[in-house]
Amino acid sequence: MTAPLTAKAVLGLYRAVGRLATPLVERHLERRRERGREDRERMAERLGRDMAARPPGPLVWLHAASVGESLSALPLLERIRSDWPGVALLVTTGTVTSARLMAERLPEGVIHQYIPVDLIGAIERFMDHWQPALGLLVESEFWPNLLTAAKARGCELVLVNGRVSPASYRSWRRFAPGIRFLLAQFSEVFAQSPEDLAHFEGLGAPRARCLGNLKFAAPPDADPEQLAAFRADLKDRPLWLAASTHAGEEAIAGAAHQALRERHPGLLTLIVPRHPDRGAAIAQELRSLGLTVARRSLDEPIGPEVDIYLADTIGELGLWYRLAKIAFIGKSLTSTGGQNPLEAAKLGCAILFGPHSENFLRVCEEMEAAGALRRVTESESLTAEISELLQDAALCERMGRAAQDCAEAQAGVLEATLAALAPRFERIAAQPPSDVTAG
């Protein structure tokens, strides 16, 4: 009987296939660039080339795959920057939208780069150039070359806000030796919930503990001038928000608006799709229902005739949660998993959620038990709940306060994460600048 391949043998095979496939990967990146899904000016970074100048001295690297992970890491980055100003900070992300967002919101002096694709040549060029002393990877980034090349160069790796969804856990258990090998590259895993901790332990993470979810750390921000302008324009119009919606949920929100507008004159429905590039298709779908739609991305005004304001932009949920105190959270009616309700809770919204909350099960159960969240199952129940909340301001306020209380009960996660990282930063900060030079 043939002996099973070891994890290291599989890694060697993965790297060999990657080398052979490099031309195909480069062509794939070029096709993505043509579709606007890669940055035309910074494509070389995805192959570990033409990177920014490395500052002298010790450097800490944080990787967040996309927008959600990047936003959750911002409070942590801001504190690291203020608490350890002598340590250089590099942030990597993998998408155009997250790069644009980071350009606007990163603390001064923090460098942003695109993460290279997981080809060993690209990863080695990246690591040799940046020489990070510590790598903080957010949520669930387990690229084999990225992890093993970092550790081989003496970069300590910590998984921050670690998350393993139930579906991922079931899938990864089928490849237990491989995932155990990858998790062994981390010196420690900070899980965001007890369920995630159990998943990491079940997958063989050598050192894991639950510190809580960094998305509790701070609410999403909003431009004060824009917020004031919207409030002035909307005056006393009744409104509600469908946030982070997925395909099918916009039509359900539109149907709810149609059923509600006679009972609530002047009603405005705000829809924030999870993927703003669907904006044109969503607007067309809603208009086919006889609804008047204005789009944020086109800077269209919210006139009194507008039924739906389609906020098809990135990184502005903080604005919409402050405007609308009733929030339906998407990916919970027509898709499974559910999106993050914590930002809405932090800002005091009464929360409505579909039957699918697998990605935030404990959070939703706690909010439901506290009276902060109500479940809906289809357009009719969504309509009924919105109507009751629009009519009963006291009920809406009670739910919003309960949601804030649930979020505040977890607010110590940032301090807990910083305390867990502090010995590492103190050790790194003590290194003289001459110990590390740019690659």
pLDDT digit string (tens) for 255-275? 999 999 999 999 999 999 999
Residue range(s) defining the domain that contains residue 244? 224-408
The confidence band for 1, taking pLDDT boundaries of 50, 70 and 90, is very low
Whether 1 is in a domain gets the answer no
Same domain, 187 and 79: yes
Whether 70 is in a domain gets the answer yes
The confidence band for 308, taking pLDDT boundaries of 50, 70 and 90, is very high
Same domain, 333 and 421: no
Whether 48 is in a domain gets the answer yes
Whether 182 is in a domain gets the answer yes
Same domain, 65 and 181: yes
Query: For the residues 182-203, what does the mean pLDDT come to?
Result: 95
- Burial (CB < 10 A; 0-12, 13-18, 19+), residue 437, is exposed
CATH number, residue 129: 3.40.50.11720
Same domain, 147 and 257: no
Q: What is the pLDDT of residue 46?
A: 96
Query: For the residues 14-26, what does the mean pLDDT come to?
Result: 90
Percent residues over pLDDT 90 in the chain: 78
Whether 81 is in a domain gets the answer yes
69 is catalytic: yes
Whether 336 is in a domain gets the answer yes
Whether 19 is in a domain gets the answer no
- HEC string for the chain: CCCCCCHHHHHHHHHHHHHHHHHHHHHHHHHHHHCCCCCHHHHHHHHCCCCCCCCCCCEEEEECCCHHHHHHHHHHHHHHHHHCCCCEEEEEECCHHHHHHHHHHCCCCCEEEECCCCCHHHHHHHHHHHCCCEEEEECCCCCHHHHHHHHHCCCEEEEEEECCCHHHHHHHHHHHHHHHHHHCCCCEEEECCHHHHHHHHHCCCCCEEECCCHHHCCCCCCCHHHHHHHHHHHCCCCEEEEEEECCCHHHHHHHHHHHHCCCCCCCEEEEEECCHHHHHHHHHHHHCCCCCEEEHHHCCCCCCCCCEEECCCCCCHHHHHHHCCEEEECCCCCCCCCCCCHHHHHCCCEEEECCCCHHHHHHHHHHHHCCCEEECCCHHHHHHHHHHHHHCHHHHHHHHHHHHHHHHCCCCHHHHHHHHHHHHHHHHHCCCHHHCCCC
Per-residue pLDDT reduced to its tens digit, 329-378: 999 999 888 998 989 999 999 999 999 998 888 889 999 999 999 999 99
Range with the lowest mean pLDDT among 46-55, 149-158, 171-180, 348-357? 171-180
Same domain, 240 and 255: yes
Q: What is the pLDDT of residue 81?
A: 94
Q: What is the pLDDT of residue 158?
A: 98
Q: What is the pLDDT of residue 227?
A: 96
pLDDT at 326 over 70: yes
pLDDT at 435 over 70: no
CATH number, residue 285: 3.40.50.2000
pLDDT at 181 over 60: yes
Percent residues over pLDDT 70 in the chain: 97
Question: Which candidate in 45, 69, 156, 343 is catalytic?
Answer: 69
Same domain, 169 and 315: no
Same domain, 180 and 272: no
Whether 4 is in a domain gets the answer no
Per-residue pLDDT reduced to its tens digit, 93-118: 999 999 998 998 999 999 999 999 99
CB 352 within 8 A of CB 374: yes
Instruction: Tell me whether strands 373-375 and 188-191 are parallel, antiparallel or unpaired.
Output: unpaired
Q: What is the pLDDT of residue 253?
A: 97
Same domain, 313 and 388: yes
Per-residue pLDDT reduced to its tens digit, 378-431: 999 999 999 999 999 999 999 999 999 998 877 789 999 999 999 999 999 988
pLDDT at 303 over 80: yes
Same domain, 240 and 371: yes
Same domain, 201 and 282: no
Same domain, 123 and 234: no
The confidence band for 323, taking pLDDT boundaries of 50, 70 and 90, is very high
Same domain, 302 and 387: yes
Structural domains of the chain, count = 2
